[in-house]
Amino acid sequence: MQRAETVARIEREGIVAVLRLDDPHKLHAVIDALAVGGVRVFEVTMTVPGAIELIGRLARDLTEDVLLGAGTVVDATTAAAAIDAGARFVVGPVFRREVIDVCHERGVPAMPGCFTPTEILDAWDAGADIVKVFPSTSLGPTFIKDIRAPLPQLKLMPTGGVSLDNAAEWLRAGAVAVGVGSALVDAAVVNAGNFDALSRRAQWLVANVRDVRRAADTTTA
């Protein structure tokens, strides 16, 4: 999959599930449960024990309709290792130009984390394919709308503070996708092995995103 195609896929899906687990042995089961609910894009963070090796195994085992990426990447060496293992996009909590460079050298989208308008535009000008607005916890959907009013070319993905209930608001405000972590992959639910509950959460989130997209299509028709 070419870089532009991967970006288009992320935009089309609208949801990136951020997987930050203490127990790496449950990662595959979590992905399977979320996939049953309709989520197809997954970000395995580098805070997961053995994340690079896990990405390698998952890249071999998962079906082609699942898009697997690496998250919490803060240096070029880690980015290269994740891509070589099979990550098809790379997300960072901060903006590091060298991470963008190594991703593009390997034909993979880079999604750095930024907070201020200046930082967001600097990352975009450096070649970011999508800018992760992070942390979004202290912000709100109007922040996305306000940024894109003078800078409509930006592709923004809020992460942190995105819940099952407000994900649609972020998309309506102009986000191309949302990164959803603990609101979707609740630690207590995972530890209890209640994977059916994860599937139901995913179904609810996917339905909300589809409703937003249908409404947007109707408005522009």
Q: Which residues are catalytic?
A: 43, 132
Which residues have C-beta within 8 Å of that of residue 191, sequence separation ≥ 6?
23
Tell me if 108 sits within 8 A of 129, measured CB to CB: no
Other beta carbons within 10 Å of 89 = 27
Tell me if 220 sits within 8 A of 55, measured CB to CB: no
HSE of 27, CA atoms in CB hemisphere, 13 A: 30
Give the bridge partners for 114, in sequence order. Answer: 133
